[in-house]
Chain A
C-alpha cells in the first residue's frame, strides 16, 4: 500500500497507482451493487406473502379453485370481495374498544408506576423492584386457569370487559422497566428546581415528566395497540358468543370452521388484508417512536 503523501501539492499519480485506484473504485461500486441486490431480494422475499395475500383477495371463485394455483388473478379482479368488511364491522368495533382502552391506560398506569422507581426513594423500593422484575419470568400458562375461574365468578366470561380490565393495573413489568430506564436518563435539574420552588409530587409528575416521556409512552401505547389487535389467545379463552368477539378470534373461528363458508378463500384473504390495515397505518404514522423504542429496549437491556 502506498505510504501517505506528505506533499501539499499532490504530484500526478503513476500509471499503476491510477490503475489500482480505479480497481478499488470498481470494487466499491460492485460491492455496493451487490449490497443493493441482496437488500432488494430480501425485501421481495419478506414482502412476498403480503403481496400474495392482497393478490388472492382480488381473485374470483373460479381462480381460487383452479387446479393449478396462480399468483395473480386471471379471470377478473373482484374488489367487491372487500365488502366482507361490512360483515366484520361488529368485530372491528369490539377490537377498537379493547385496543383503545388498553392503548391509553397501559402507558398511563405504567408511567404512574415507573415514576417512583425512577425518581424517588421510598421504603421497600428494592424489594418491590425485585418482585416486579421477577414477574417477568411468570409464564401466562400458570395464571391462565385461576384467572379464568376468577373472571367466571365475576361474570366477566363472554364479556368484552375481560380484555381491557387488566389495563388499569399497569402494563406488565417489561413496559414499566422500559420506562424506568428511559426516565433515569432524563436530567434531574427540572424536578430539582421545581422541588425547590415548592411543587408537590403530583404537579411534578404532570407538568414536567409527562411531556418529556411522551415519546416512550407513544411507543408503548402503539406497541400495545398492535399487540392487542393481533392478540388471539386471550379472547379465545374468554369470549364465547360470536357477536362479542374481537377481530382476531372471529377471523380464526370463521377460517378454521369446516363448512361451506370456509371455501371462500378469496373473501377470507380480503378480510385478512383489512385486518392488517390498522397496524400498518399506526406503524407508518409513528415510526419514529416505534423504531426509537425498539432501540431503547434493545440496547439498554
Chain B
C-alpha cells in the first residue's frame, strides 16, 4: 500500500517537474520576425473587415491619443473594429511581456495584443531579450506605397535597432519649462525668453527673484490662497528622472559610459551637475526652496504646479492637456492653469542638452491581424493621423512637414486655453543637435545591465541631493561602482 502511494507520488513529482516549460535553444537569432507575415501582401481596401487588439497605458493622455488615432483611422477604413485594453502604467511592461510569453508558449497568438504602445526605451529588451516585436523595415521595403522619408530623422533613429525599424513613432517629447504667467506677474519677474535658453546662473537668479517676489505678494491664486502663504517651492519636478538627470550630467560635460563600455560616471562633471541641483534644493528665497526635495523619490510631480503653489514645472508636451483642463473627481475640482507659458529648457551646465524621448506603437511578430495592424501603424505616422492626435494638444508630430508648417494643427490647437503667442517652438528647440536620451549610451552597455545603469544614475542623484555636499562625490562613486557591478554581472550571463 505504502509502496503504491510512494510510487504515485514520485510519478506526480516527476510529471510536475516538466510541466509548463519549453526548452529553447539560446543561440537562436532574435529579432528576425515572422517571415510568413513579412512576406505577405499588406495592402487592404477601404472595406476591409478586421479587428485589432490594442494595449495602451491607463492614463488619460494615452486614451485621448488612441481615441484620436482610432477615430481618424475609421474614417479611412470604417469596417475595422478595435478592442482596446488599458493597462495600469506601473506594470504595463510586465503585463505586455507576459501576454507575449503566454501567446508564444501556448501557441495561441490571439492572446497577445496586435498593436501595443511602447517607448523607445523598451525596444532593446523587447527585441533582444523576449523577442516579440515585428521588424517593420522588411515589410516597408516591400510596400511600394509607403516610405519613411517624411518622418523626422531624430525620431526614426530612436525607433531603430540594428538597422531595423521596430516601432512607428507617434509623437516627440522634449522636456520644456512650463511656467505660470500669473505667478510671474505677481512676483514682478520677467518671463523667460522664448528664443534663447537661459544659463544655469540666470535660471537660479530667476528662481531667487520669484521666491522673493512671491513671498511679498498677497495676490490670490485660483483657490483663494495668498501666494505669500502658499508658495513653498519654486521648481516642481523630479530630478531623479532619466529625462532630467542624464541630460543634466551631459550638460556639465559628464558621461555615464564611454564607447568602450568603461564606466566614466564618477567624474568631477557629474559631481558638479548634482551639486548644482542640490544647491537649488537647499537655497531658500523668501519662504520657498528653489527646488523641491524629491531626492527621496516622492513621485507626485506636477501637483504643486497644478495647485498653483509653484511657478515652474519641467515636463514634456505629453502632459499639456492635463494642465489645460479642469480635473474633477466627486465634485472636487482641480483647476486648469489659467495662463500657461512655455520656454525652452535652460542650459544648466554649459553644453546644451535636453532630455527627449519618443513613444509609438509596434506590432506583435505573430499577430493574427497583421494586415490591419500594419495599416494602423502606417496611419499613425500619416498626416491625417498626426493631425488628429494634434487636436488633443499633446502631440509634437513626427513628420518634418508638420513640424515646419507655421499653421500646422499642433500649433493652432487648444486656442480656448492657449494664447496666440504661446511658444510652441520650445518643444522642438534645438532638437537636432541637443536632444539626448539614455538610449544614447545603451549600445555601449550589455542588454541586461541597461535598466540597472539607468537606475544607478537616479540613485546617485537621490543620495547626492539627500546627503551632505561633501558626500556627493562619494555617492557618485558608489553609483559608478554599482554600474560596474551591473555590467560585469550582465556580461557573465
With a cutoff of 8 Å between Cβ atoms, the chain A residues found around residue B329 in the complex are 84, 87, 261, 264, 267
Shortest CB-to-CB span from B103 to chain A, Å, is: 11
**B62 CB to nearest chain A CB (Å):** 11
Q: How far is the CA of A258 from the CA of B322 in the complex (A)?
A: 12
State the CA gap A258–B319 with chains docked (Å): 12
CA distance A20 to B39 in the complex (A): 106
Q: Across the interface, do B300 and A263 meet the contact criterion of CB distance under 8 Å?
A: yes
Give the contact stretch, choosing among B246-254, B261-269, B303-311, B412-420: B303-311
Q: How many A-B residue pairs lie within 8 Å, measured between CB atoms?
A: 91
- Looking at A22-30, A62-70, A113-121, A207-215, the stretch in contact with chain B turns out to be A62-70
- Chain A's nearest CB lies how many Å from the CB of B308? 9
**A231, B86: Cα distance in complex, Å:** 23
Known pairs A65-B223, A87-B330, A240-B95. 11 more at Cβ < 8 A?
Answer: A61-B307, A67-B309, A81-B330, A84-B330, A149-B20, A257-B90, A260-B327, A261-B327, A262-B300, A263-B307, A264-B334
Chain B residues contacting A60 (CB-CB under 8 Å) are 332
B232–A67 contact, CB under 8 A? yes
Given contacts A62-B225, A242-B58, contact A258 B20 (CB under 8 A): no
Can you pick out 25 interface pairs between chain A and chain B where the beta carbons lie within 8 Å of each other?
A: A60-B332, A61-B223, A62-B225, A65-B225, A66-B225, A67-B232, A78-B331, A78-B332, A80-B330, A80-B331, A83-B331, A84-B329, A153-B20, A240-B88, A240-B91, A240-B95, A242-B86, A253-B88, A253-B90, A257-B89, A258-B301, A258-B302, A259-B302, A260-B306, A264-B332
Which one of B20, B59, B60, B230 lies within 8 Å of A67 (CB-CB)?
B230
Query: Contact check: which of A152, A258, A266 meets B332 at CB < 8 Å?
Result: A266
Q: Is the CB of B309 within 8 A of A65?
A: yes
- Say whether A233 faces chain B, with CB atoms less than 8 Å apart: no
Count of residues in B whose CB is under 8 Å from the partner chain: 37
Q: Out of B85, B229, B303, B331, which one reaches A263, CB within 8 Å?
A: B303
Could you tell me if A152 and B334 are in contact, using CB atoms closer than 8 angstroms? Answer: no
Q: Which residue of A lies closest to B20 (CB)?
A: A149
Q: How far is the CB of B286 from chain A (nearest CB, A)?
A: 13
Q: How far is the CB of A268 from chain B (nearest CB, A)?
A: 9
Q: Is B26 an interface residue (CB 8 A)?
A: no
Please report the C-alpha to C-alpha distance between residue A253 and residue B95 in the assembled complex, in whole angstroms. Answer: 15
Is A150 part of the binding interface, using a Cβ–Cβ cutoff of 8 Å? yes
Taking the complex as formed, is B106 at the interface, i.e. its CB lies under 8 A from any CB of chain A? yes
Q: Annotate A141-152 by CB proximity to B: 1 below 8 A, 0 otherwise.
A: 000001001101
Closest CB-CB distance, B232 to chain A, in whole Å?
A: 6
> Which A residues touch B98, using CB under 8 A?
152, 157
Instruction: State whether the Cβ of B375 lies closer than 8 Å to any Cβ in chain A.
Output: no
A241, B331: Cβ atoms closer than 8 Å:
no
- A267: which B residues are within 8 A, CB to CB? 329-330, 332
**Using an 8 Å CB-CB cutoff, how does the interface string of B221-248 with A read, 1 for contact, 0 for none?**
0011100011010000000000000000
What is the CA–CA distance of A60 and B59 in the complex, to the nearest angstrom?
A: 25
B333 in contact (CB, < 8 A): yes
How far does the Cβ of B316 sit from chain A's closest Cβ, in whole Å?
Answer: 14
Mask for A48-85, Cβ within 8 A of B = 1, else 0? 00000000000011100111000000000010111110
> What's the dominant secondary structure at chain A's contact region?
helix
- B44 interface hit (Cβ, 8 Å): no
B11 adjacent to chain A (CB < 8 Å): no
For residue B102, CB closer than 8 A to chain A, the reply is yes
Query: Would you give the 0/1 interface string for B260-295, flagging 1 where the beta carbon is closer than 8 Å to chain A?
Result: 000000000000000000000000000000000000
Closest residue of chain B to A153 (Cβ to Cβ) is: B20
Q: Does the CB pair B306–A263 fall under 8 Å? A: yes
B299 sits at the interface (CB 8 A): yes
Are B332 and A61 closer than 8 Å at their CB atoms?
yes
Measured in the bound complex, the distance between the Cα atoms of B229 and A134 in whole Å is 61
Q: What residues of chain B lie closer than 8 Å to A81, measured between beta carbons?
A: 330-332
A225 at the interface (CB under 8 A from B): no
Interface centre among B91, B300, B332, B334 (most CB of A within 10 A): B332
Question: Is A216 in the interface zone, CB < 8 Å from B?
Answer: no
Is B340 engaged at the interface, CB distance under 8 Å to the other chain?
no
From B87, B301, B331, residue with most partner A Cβ within 10 Å: B331
Smallest CB separation, B475 vs chain A (Å): 25
* A84 neighbours in B (Cβ, 8 Å): 329-330
Contact with B along A79-105 (1 / 0, CB 8 A): 011111001000000000000000000
A258→B334 contact, CB < 8 A: no
User: How distant is the Cα of A266 from the Cα of B333 in the complex, in angstroms?
Assistant: 11
Whether A179 is near chain B, meaning CB under 8 Å from some CB there, is no
Min Cβ gap A139→B in Å is 19
Closest to B287 in A: A67
Identify the interface centre among B106, B223, B224: most chain A CB within 10 Å of its CB. B223
**Which residues of B have CB within 8 Å of A240?**
87-88, 91, 95
A259 touching B225 by the CB < 8 A rule? no
For residue B304, which residue of chain A has the nearest CB? A65
Among all A-B residue pairs, the 3 with the closest Cβ atoms: A84-B330, A80-B331, A83-B330
Does residue A247 face the partner (Cβ distance < 8 Å to B)? no
How far, in angstroms, from A150 to B58 measured CA to CA in the complex? 27
B111 nearest CB neighbor, chain A only: A155
A80 to B230, CA, bound (A): 25
